Structure formats: structure tokens, C-alpha cells
């Protein structure tokens, strides 16, 4: 126990320097989806690998067909379990830049009037701040005791935000080196700012980019208006038709593999005291827009959805241009649940579009990856140990929750390596991940590091 207290004290005392390290990482513009930031992604991987080597891990960079992975080991702890920790160092694009109050890659601590503070910057909440909570816990264990309670392998990915295209080949190539008793993933949220949580389910994802082409060139809308097919009209009609008036997705067989959630699980979630008014009110909304007859919690945790993430075509610059564009484009993603298969949904979606395409129009599709939903075992013994450690740190019962986001690696750990994962993170719903003005609470970073220090010890017993 006194060892743990020393480790926790070292995390407390070291907070200012830990923040300096986090800021170094946050300054690196590691936007994985945009090829212009390839070097920056490599820089983030190098920075992390160097950091891990300095702490006492044996770390190296592994090349992939995309952005590199960081792979690090700290082994040799006798009679202790072996955990694989996962985080991602890539971040989302900052667009639209004009909506940021400050520069996204110039991190700052912002103190609020109520005495709390936030760490401001792209990647602070997703996922650099989160992954550094674990690194700081390892650092404190090693510096205070010369060892760690568990054998630890760390894997940092650089393509999570762009659908993890190189992940499967990497997992296969490094299968033996990655194999551990189970995985720890720090990329999810707490229930609220006081209540720690372990996520036991995530939605899957399937991404498509679609281009509809009509005339062979852009046209003057006076010359051709009404006679020429307008691909923006066609595209928007098809996209609008994906949902019916009750918010249900009308693709053939879309709900075939969507299970109903058992009553006992729904009852347990009911006890969490979720407020639809607050959840929507916090972002300026009041009316749930999903499937009628489903609560907001169901809509975001257990039901699939189709969302247009971007749509463009024609003239969108300053001023005005009377044009019928030759092409229209959209990016659309599906969140999947239960046994829904991304490949099957992709085929159904493409058939849906093709069947609605008028004569003279053509369509091209580009896949942006896919991963099925994830369901974890509530009764994993490690889950109970971690929940207890979290409760000790936060003085609150740990909530078992589901989350609507996707983390492709979790399903792949299970399928490719036979490994279960524990999804523990310290983000908050208002961290504005993927949005302008992303932040991470200072308490998330500090108590998150303390939580991992406790969890590592709890898992070793
Ligand atoms: N950290 C998120 C996943 C997440 C979001 C978990 C919200 C819990 C709550 C992750 O980095 C992420 O955003 N993943 C992408 C994956 C996609 C591109 C395949 C996502 O969910 O959009
Ligand atoms: Zn993330």
C-alpha cells in the first residue's frame, strides 16, 4: 500500500512536468486523414517512442503501409499478468479553423471561474491526453519502485481517426509480440465529471464516399436549367431517402442483425439517471432526431444510424455563381450495432444508391473502412478489479456504460489475437472531440494517471 501511495504522490508532484510533456505531444499536428501531415504523424510516433524508451520501455517504430505504429515492451515482472495498452496518437482535422477560439496546436491550460481547468487543443481529449495518463502512471511506477505491477506492452496507432487501414496487416505481422492476457484501451469517456466508467459496448462503423456525375461539364444554369439533371438534387434526394419519417433506415435487411437489448441491461442503464434534456440542451437542441419510440440513450448506444458527414459540389465560394455542377459528392457513415456486418451494409447501401440513379447519371463509391460493433463480457474478472480501483480513486461507484463511438482495434484484438479489452477513459461528453475548441479536463489527466497507477496494481493481484 505504501508503494502505491508513493507512486500516487509522484504523480501529484510531477503534474507540472507531465503537462509539459503532454503539451509537446499536442503541438505535433498529427492529422492522419490528410496526406499533407504525414511527416507530423511520423514525428508524433517518434516523440512517443523516445519518451517510452526514456521511461524504461524498449520501444521502437514499426512501419506500416500508412502511418507508423509505436510498439514498446516492459517485461520481466515475475508472476504478474501481461497487459497490452492501446492508444492513438493521430487526431482529427481542425476544420473549420475559424471556429477555434485559439490555435488548435498551441495547447494551453484555461482556468475557469469555478476553479476547474481545461487542457485546450486538438487531440487533448482524443486521444493524446488520454494515452498520456497511462504513460505517466507507468513512469511513476518505474521511477518510484524500479518496476511495474504488470508486464506491459504498449501499442500506439496513428490511423484510428481515419478508419485504421493498416491495422489488420500489422496485427497479423506482430501477432506473437502483441499477445497479452488482455488489452487496456484508453479512448472512451467517464459517465460524468465525478463518476468513472468502464465501457462494455461500442458501435461499429462503415464509411463511404460517393460521387454522382451527370453532365460532362459544369453548365450555365440559364442555358441548361431544368433540362439538365442536377447531381446535387439527385444526391440529396437519395441521401434523404435513407431514413423514413420515423427515423428508421430503409436499406434492405438493415435491421436483420440488430438485437434488442435485454431488459436487465436497460434497467441498469436506467439507474444511471441519464437526462435527455441536458444531453441535447448542452448542444443547443431539444428534440431527439433518431428513431421514434427509442430513448436518446438507445439511439446513441444500441441503435444503428446513418449520418451524412460532409456534402459538397457546385459553387460554395464567396459571392454567387449560377451553375449546374457536373458532380456532387458526399461522405456518409453508418454506426453499426449487434451483428451488423460492415461489408454487407456497404453492398446494400451501394445497391440502394444505384437503384435510384436516373438515366444519364453515374456513381462512384470509395470505401473509408468499416468495423463491426463490440460487446464485452460484464463478468471479466479484470473488469471487476479495475472497477474497484476506479471507485477508490474517484470515491464513486464505477458505472458500466456503452458508448456510441467506434474504436476498430477492439474488435480486431478479439478476432485476430483472441484478446478481450477493458475500455477505460477519462473523457467527458463536453470535451468537444472532433469539434473546434477540443479540451480535456485537468482532473481527467491528473486523476486519470492516478487511476491507471491503481488499476495496474489491482490487476496484478
Ligand atoms: N475516441 C473515439 C471513439 C469514441 C467516441 C469513444 C466517443 C467514445 C465516445 C475515437 O477516436 C473515434 O473517434 N473513432 C472514430 C472511428 C471511425 C473513424 C472509424 C469514430 O468513432 O468516429
Ligand atoms: Zn479516440
Residue 426 alpha carbon to ligand 2 centre in Å: 12
Residue 381 lies in a domain: yes
Segment 340-344 shows an average pLDDT of 98
Residue 42 lies in a domain: yes
Q: Which three cell numbers stand for residue 441?
A: 479536463
Distances (CA, A) of 290 to 234, 248, 281, 306, 455: 23, 8, 16, 10, 37
Residue 80 alpha carbon to ligand 1 centre in Å: 31
Looking at the structure, tell me whether residues 194 and 231 fall in a common domain.
Answer: no
Give yes or no for residue 159 CB within 6 A of ligand 1.
Answer: no
Identify the domain containing residue 322 by its residue range.
204-258+304-371
Look at ligand 1, atom 17, and give the residue with the nearest C-alpha.
Answer: 163
Give yes or no for residue 300 CB within 6 A of ligand 1.
Answer: no
Give yes or no for residue 189 CB within 6 A of ligand 1.
Answer: yes
Looking at the structure, tell me whether residues 344 and 390 fall in a common domain.
Answer: no
Look at ligand 1, atom 16, and give the residue with the nearest C-alpha.
Answer: 406
Give yes or no for residue 204 CB within 6 A of ligand 1.
Answer: no
pLDDT for 377 equals 85
Residue 244 alpha carbon to ligand 1 centre in Å: 26
Work out which ligand 1 atom sits closest to the CA atom of 163. Answer: 19
338 burial level (CB within 10 Å; 0-12, 13-18, 19+): buried
Q: Read off the pLDDT of residues 175-189 as tens digits, 9 standing for 90 and up.
A: 999 999 999 999 999
What is the share, in percent, of the chain residues with pLDDT greater than 90? 96
Dihedrals phi, psi of 254, to nearest 5 degrees: -60, -35
Look at ligand 1, atom 9, and give the residue with the nearest C-alpha.
Answer: 405
Residue 166 alpha carbon to ligand 2 centre in Å: 16
Residue 126 alpha carbon to ligand 2 centre in Å: 4
- Smallest CA-to-CA distance from 388 within 378, 398, 380 is with 398
- Smallest CA-to-CA distance from 332 within 317, 353, 303, 315 is with 353
Closest ligand by atom to 127 CA: 2
Do residues 59 and 52 lie in contact, with contact meaning Cβ atoms separated by under 8 Å?
Answer: yes
Segment 310-329 shows an average pLDDT of 98
Look at ligand 1, atom 1, and give the residue with the nearest C-alpha.
Answer: 187
Q: Read off the pLDDT of residues 188-238 as tens digits, 9 standing for 90 and up.
A: 999 999 999 999 999 999 999 999 999 999 999 999 999 999 999 999 999
End of a domain among 371, 387, 412? 371
Q: Read off the pLDDT of residues 398-416 as tens digits, 9 standing for 90 and up.
A: 999 999 999 999 999 999 9
Looking at the structure, tell me whether residues 357 and 242 fall in a common domain.
Answer: yes
Segment 318-342 shows an average pLDDT of 98
Residue 447 lies in a domain: yes
Give yes or no for residue 405 CB within 6 A of ligand 1.
Answer: yes
Look at ligand 1, atom 4, and give the residue with the nearest C-alpha.
Answer: 405
Q: Read off the pLDDT of residues 1-55 as tens digits, 9 standing for 90 and up.
A: 589 999 999 999 999 999 999 999 999 999 999 999 999 999 999 999 999 999 9
Average pLDDT of the chain, as a whole number: 97
- Secondary structure (3-state) at 394: helix
Looking at the structure, tell me whether residues 100 and 191 fall in a common domain.
Answer: yes
Residue 244 lies in a domain: yes
Residue 411 alpha carbon to ligand 1 centre in Å: 13
Residue 189 alpha carbon to ligand 2 centre in Å: 10
Look at ligand 1, atom 20, and give the residue with the nearest C-alpha.
Answer: 406
Residue 272 lies in a domain: no
Work out which ligand 1 atom sits closest to the CA atom of 406. Answer: 21
User: For the chain, how many structural domains are there in total?
Assistant: 2
Segment 154-167 shows an average pLDDT of 95
Query: Distance (Å, rounded) from C-alpha 71 to C-alpha 296?
Result: 39
Give yes or no for residue 412 CB within 6 A of ligand 1.
Answer: no
Residue 319 alpha carbon to ligand 2 centre in Å: 38
Query: Distance (Å, rounded) from C-alpha 41 to C-alpha 80?
Result: 34
pLDDT for 133 equals 99
- Smallest CA-to-CA distance from 60 within 333, 52, 140 is with 52
Looking at the structure, tell me whether residues 380 and 351 fall in a common domain.
Answer: no
Mark the residues whose beta carbon lies below 5 A from ion ligand 2. Answer: 126-127, 187
End of a domain among 318, 346, 371? 371
Looking at the structure, tell me whether residues 404 and 335 fall in a common domain.
Answer: no
End of a domain among 371, 406, 430? 371
Amino acid at each position: 500500500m505504501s508503494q502505491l501511495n508513493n507512486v500516487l504522490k509522484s504523480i501529484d508532484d510531477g503534474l507540472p512536468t507531465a503537462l509539459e510533456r503532454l503539451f509537446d505531444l499536442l503541438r505535433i499536428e498529427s492529422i492522419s486523414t490528410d496526406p499533407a501531415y504525414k511527416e507530423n504523424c511520423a514525428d508524433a510516433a517518434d516523440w512517443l517512442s523516445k519518451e517510452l524508451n526514456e521511461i524504461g520501455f524498449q520501444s521502437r517504430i514499426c512501419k506500416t503501409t500508412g502511418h507508423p505504429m509505436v510498439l514498446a515492451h516492459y517485461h520481466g515482472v515475475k508472476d504478474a499478468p501481461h497487459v497490452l495498452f492501446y492508444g492513438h496518437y493521430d487526431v482529427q482535422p481542425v476544420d473549420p479553423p475559424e471556429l477555434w477560439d485559439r490555435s488548435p496546436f498551441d495547447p494551453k491550460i484555461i482556468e475557469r471561474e469555478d476553479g476547474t481547468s481545461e487542457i485546450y487543443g486538438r487531440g487533448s481529449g482524443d486521444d493524446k491526453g488520454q494515452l498520456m495518463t497511462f504513460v505517466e502512471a507507468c513512469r511513476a511506477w518505474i521511477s518510484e519502485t524500479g518496476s511495474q505491477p504488470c508486464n506491459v506492452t504498449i501499442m500506439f496507432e496513428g490511423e484510428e481517426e481515419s478508419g485504421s487501414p493498416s491495422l489488420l496487416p500489422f496485427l497479423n505481422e506482430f501477432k506473437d509480440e502483441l499477445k497479452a492476457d488482455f488489452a487496456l484501451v484508453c479512448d472512451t469517456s467517464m459517465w460524468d465529471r465525478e463518476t468513472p466508467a468502464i465501457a462494455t459496448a461500442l458501435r461499429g462503423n462503415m464509411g463511404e464516399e460517393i460521387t454522382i456525375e451527370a453532365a460532362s461539364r459544369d453548365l450555365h444554369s440559364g442555358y441548361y436549367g431544368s433540362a439538365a439533371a442536377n447531381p446535387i438534387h439527385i444526391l440529396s434526394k437519395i441521401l434523404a431517402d435513407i431514413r423514413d419519417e420515423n427515423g428508421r433506415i430503409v436499406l434492405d435487411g438493415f435491421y436483420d442483425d440488430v438485437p434488442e437489448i435485454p431488459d436487465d441491461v436497460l434497467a441498469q442503464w436506467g439507474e444511471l439517471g441519464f437526462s435527455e434534456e441536458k444531453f441535447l440542451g448542452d448542444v443547443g437542441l431539444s428534440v431527439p432526431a433518431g428513431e421514434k419510440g427509442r430513448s436518446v440513450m438507445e439511439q446513441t448506444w444500441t441503435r444503428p444510424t446513418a449520418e451524412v458527414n460532409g456534402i459538397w459540389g457546385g459553387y460554395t465560394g464567396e459571392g454567387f455563381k449560377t451553375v449546374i455542377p457536373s458532380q456532387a459528392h458526399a461522405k456518409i457513415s453508418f454506426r453499426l450495432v449487434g451483428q451488423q456486418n460492415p461489408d454487407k451494409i456497404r453492398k446494400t447501401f451501394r445497391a440502394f444508391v444505384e437503384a435510384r440513379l436516373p438515366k444519364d447519371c453515374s456513381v462512384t463509391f470509395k470505401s473509408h473502412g468499416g468495423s463491426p460493433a463490440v460487446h464485452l463480457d460484464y463478468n471479466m474478472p479484470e473488469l471487476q478489479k479495475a472497477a474497484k480501483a476506479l471507485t477508490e480513486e474517484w470515491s464513486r461507484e464505477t458505472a458500466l456504460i456503452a458508448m456510441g463511438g467506434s474504436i476498430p482495434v477492439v474488435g480486431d484484438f478479439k478476432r485476430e489475437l483472441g484478446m478481450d479489452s477493458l475500455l477505460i477513459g477519462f473523457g467527458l461528453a463536453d470535451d468537444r472531440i472532433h469539434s473546434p475548441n477540443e479540451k480535456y479536463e485537468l482532473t481527467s489527466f491528473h486523476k486519470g494517471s492516478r487511476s491507471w497507477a491503481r488499476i495496474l496494481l489491482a490487476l496484478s493481484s
